[in-house]
């Protein structure tokens, strides 16, 4: 038989092996809820397909025989052909006869089956969700257990460190101190209350944590233990408060006593120290309280809201947070001191670097433009909160890396952005000591430096303004017209050493301090044995000094003998001359090397530039003594065992006056003024002319201005 004629290509192209069954299989990829419904519906349609296919089977077979479909190997397969017929039946559904009663019963059965299937699916999903919730609860419980385990493990390690501090370092040093090697008070000052801290952790907190972790299956909580013992962490306040002085004592006696240093080095070389210094181990109690706070916060995050341990955990967190605040401050101070020590070594032992008041703001390399030919030179800057160190690099791999070329104080410093065609990214820093034109490595680096300078200058000025405002309040005396009408500002007890009226020195037994309620002066009992009605206090009788009594009561004639009395050379008020002086500030003073130095308020007034006035306090109304500077020799004492580097002397014949400044900078200021005064020249004013100096003399802070 000849092959059948080639049929034209249909208008659509079907995928390979597409059938009604495949279509229903695709429907089965839906969700669990629709999966059962799809299966039932597909069975229903397949039954209909069978009846429709049977009715048309005769026509299909005859057509197939006439056209030779059974022998043609083309792409139009019998399966596709049958599917096309099934599609025609679906598209012409409106021509099908109405369903019979049997089909209605099938529909109801189908609906019931769908409802049962959906209920089964929902029950299965509910069970899965319950399993997931149980799994989440187990994960949370496991996280809580891990936090509690970490607390226990770190507590054991911490108790080991405390044992090293108390039972090894402190015990060994105390034993040697008992032999007279060094004072026992030094050991107590270094270790403070570390013994009490060790006892608390080793005998109370650690045993309770170990017991609780062994019973975790029945009692999974730690908040109750910490809430009960957290109040004892307040003992850390004493340790943290003493930490700075302990570090100073440790450093001082390590350098002073060979025996002390030998013991420290011997213990530090032992394996138990882990190649760490005593300073590192002493920092651990400061860091421990913030560690408790961090673990407890993490514990609260994982703890369910309705957990009975939540209230106890919150209570203990509040107590620990207060103790952690103090510890964090001490840690920052320690980190700052550590950084200052590194800078001290890089600068080859530069003076006044390791000082708790110094704070490093920024450091880095920079280029300095020469003033003559604008050539650039590599330099290094250390910007502190009170000064700028302008350094020259040294090509050395170990030891000193920089040499300080200039110190520029932040007081009076200005920073300006400059423009230079040959050298971009330049700015200028000018101070009282020197003006520097600098070049940054990039525009961003320049902006960072300028911002750091501006913020440092602003903070410094704000502190000074606050200080000046407080000082001006001291200087503001109540006028005679306002006496009794306006409450005065009381002069502080530590600002005077003698009665501000009769000028007799105070003592704690026979001449104590009293305040006049009208003018605020500090006077003795004899000068305050008066009472007057003051309007600002509701006309109540108040204790006033003798002068205020006569003014408030209108008996001014009593002042005449006092005003007519000639004042002595020492009867010049310290506040009066300090406000109009070349230089004033606190110095340590002594006339005998064997006697301890006395802290005095020194003033070189502008009206008497060749005389140095020495007061007991900034508000004294009478000087203790005066030193005529003309003819004296000024000696800048070098560093030695008996003399600190900030000391200097005034010598004339057999008269010797020894002074010690607080800092090297303050010492240089005094020497600059005194060097001119001793040869009869007028010194340069070291302070602004607008009474800033007077403002700074009342707070009792050694600013050296």
Q: CA–CA separation, 658 vs 594, rounded Å?
A: 11
pLDDT tens profile 2-27: 555 544 544 444 444 444 444 444 44
In three-state secondary structure terms, 248 is helix
pLDDT at 200: 94
Predicted local distance difference test score (pLDDT) of residue 534: 87
What pLDDT was estimated at residue 83? 47
For the chain, give every residue range classified as CATH 1.20.900.10. Answer: 131-346
CATH 3.30.40.10 residue spans of the chain: 475-557
Q: For domain 360-472, give its CATH number from 2.60.40.1930, 1.10.600.10, 2.40.30.170, 2.30.29.30.
A: 2.30.29.30
State the DSSP string of 57-116.
HHHHHHHHHHHTTTT--SS--HHHHHHHHHHHHHHTGGGSPPP-HHHHHHHHHHHHHHHH
Positions of the chain with pLDDT under 70: 1-119, 121-133, 326-328, 330-331, 371-374, 397, 465-478, 508-510, 556-571, 592-595, 638-642, 685-705
pLDDT of residue 453: 94
Q: Which CATH superfamily groups domain 131-346?
A: Dbl homology (DH) domain (1.20.900.10)
Which tokens go with 244?
A: 């700075």
Asked if residue 354 lies in contact with residue 337, where contact means CB atoms within 8 angstroms, the answer is: yes
pLDDT of residue 702: 36
The predicted pLDDT at position 114 comes to 64
Residue-level pLDDT at 128? 65
Q: Distances in Å between the alpha carbon of 262 and those of 253, 258, 268, 285, 649?
A: 11, 6, 10, 24, 37
Q: From the options 3.30.750.24, 3.40.50.10540, 3.40.50.1820, 3.30.40.10, give the CATH code of 475-557.
A: 3.30.40.10
Tell which residue, 513, 516, 545, 469, has the closest CA to residue 699: 469
Where does CATH 2.30.29.30 sit in the chain? Answer: 360-472, 574-679
Question: Given strand 426-430, what is the order of strands in its sheet?
Answer: 402-409, 387-393, 376-384, 360-369, 435-439, 426-430, 414-417
Q: Two tokens at 69?
A: 């479909």
**pLDDT, tens digit, for every residue of 372-404?**
566 788 999 999 998 999 999 987 767 788 999
CA distances to 70, 488, 570, 627 from 597, in Å: 127, 35, 21, 17
The CATH code that applies to domain 574-679 is 2.30.29.30
């Amino acid at each position: 038989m000849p092959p059948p004629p080639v049929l034209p290509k249909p208008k659509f192209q079907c995928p390979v092996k597409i059938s009604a069954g495949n279509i229903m299989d695709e429907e089965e990829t839906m969700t669990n809820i629709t999966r059962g419904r799809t299966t039932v519906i597909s069975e229903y349609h397949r039954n209909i397909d069978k009846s429709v296919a049977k009715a048309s089977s005769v026509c299909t077979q005859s057509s197939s025989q006439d056209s030779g479909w059974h022998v043609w190997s083309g792409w139009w397969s019998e399966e596709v052909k049958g599917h096309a017929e099934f599609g025609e039946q679906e598209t012409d559904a409106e021509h099908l006869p109405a369903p019979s009663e049997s089909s209605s019963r099938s529909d109801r059965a189908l609906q019931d089956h769908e409802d049962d299937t959906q209920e089964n699916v929902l029950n299965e999903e509910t069970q899965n969700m319950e399993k997931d919730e149980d799994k989440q609860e187990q994960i949370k419980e496991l996280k809580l257990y891990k936090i509690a385990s970490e607390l226990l493990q770190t507590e054991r390690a911490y108790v080991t460190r405390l044992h090293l501090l108390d039972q090894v370092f402190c015990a060994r040093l105390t034993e040697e101190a008992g032999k007279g090697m060094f004072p026992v008070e030094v050991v107590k000052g270094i270790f403070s209350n570390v013994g009490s801290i060790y006892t608390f952790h080793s005998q109370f907190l650690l045993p309770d944590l170990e017991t609780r972790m062994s019973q975790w299956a029945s009692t999974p909580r730690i908040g109750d233990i910490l809430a009960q013992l957290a109040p004892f962490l307040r003992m850390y306040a004493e340790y943290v408060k003493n930490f700075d002085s302990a570090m100073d004592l440790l450093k001082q006696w390590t350098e002073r006593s060979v025996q002390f240093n030998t013991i420290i080095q011997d213990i530090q070389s032992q394996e138990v120290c882990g190649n760490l210094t005593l300073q590192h181990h002493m920092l651990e109690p400061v860091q421990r309280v913030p560690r408790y706070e961090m673990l407890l916060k993490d514990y609260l995050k994982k703890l369910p809201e309705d957990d009975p341990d939540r209230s106890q955990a919150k209570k203990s967190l509040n107590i620990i947070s207060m103790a952690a605040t103090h510890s964090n401050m001490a840690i920052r101070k320690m980190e700052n001191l550590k950084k200052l020590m590194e800078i001290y070594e890089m600068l080859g032992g530069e003076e006044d670097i390791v000082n708790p008041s110094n704070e490093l703001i920024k450091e880095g390399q920079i280029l300095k433009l020469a003033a003559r030919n604008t050539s650039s030179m590599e330099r290094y800057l250390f910007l502190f909160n009170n000064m700028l160190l302008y350094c020259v690099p040294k090509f050395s791999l170990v030891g000193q890396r920089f040499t300080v070329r200039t110190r520029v104080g932040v007081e009076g410093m200005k920073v300006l952005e400059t423009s230079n065609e040959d050298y971009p990214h330049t700015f200028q820093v000018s101070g009282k000591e020197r003006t520097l034109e600098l070049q940054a490595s990039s525009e961003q680096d320049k902006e960072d430096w300028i911002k750091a300078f501006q913020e440092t200058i602003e903070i410094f000025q704000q502190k000074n303004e606050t200080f000046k405002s407080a000082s001006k309040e001291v200087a503001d005396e109540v006028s005679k017209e306002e006496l009794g009408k306006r409450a005065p500002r009381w002069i502080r007890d530590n600002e005077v050493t003698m009665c501000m009226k009769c000028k007799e020195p105070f003592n704690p037994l026979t001449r104590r301090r009293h305040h006049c309620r009208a003018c605020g002066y500090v006077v003795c009992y004899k000068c305050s044995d008066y009472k007057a009605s003051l309007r600002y206090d509701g006309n109540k009788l108040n204790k006033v000094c003798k002068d205020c009594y006569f003014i408030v009561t209108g008996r001014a004639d009593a002042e005449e003998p006092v005003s007519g009395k000639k004042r002595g050379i020492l009867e010049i008020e310290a506040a009066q001359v300090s406000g109009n002086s070349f230089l004033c500030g606190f110095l340590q003073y002594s006339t005998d090397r064997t006697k301890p130095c006395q802290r005095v308020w020194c003033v070189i007034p502008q009206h008497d530039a060749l005389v140095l006035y020495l007061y007991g306090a900034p508000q004294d109304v009478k000087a203790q003594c005066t030193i005529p500077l003309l003819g004296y020799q000024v000696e800048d004492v070098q560093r030695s065992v008996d003399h600190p580097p900030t000391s200097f002397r005034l010598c004339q014949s057999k008269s010797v006056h020894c002074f010690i400044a607080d800092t090297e900078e303050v010492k240089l200021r005094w020497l600059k003024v005194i060097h001119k005064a001793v040869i009869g020249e007028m010194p340069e004013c070291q302070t602004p002319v607008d009474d800033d100096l007077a403002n700074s003399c009342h707070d009792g802070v050694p600013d050296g201005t």
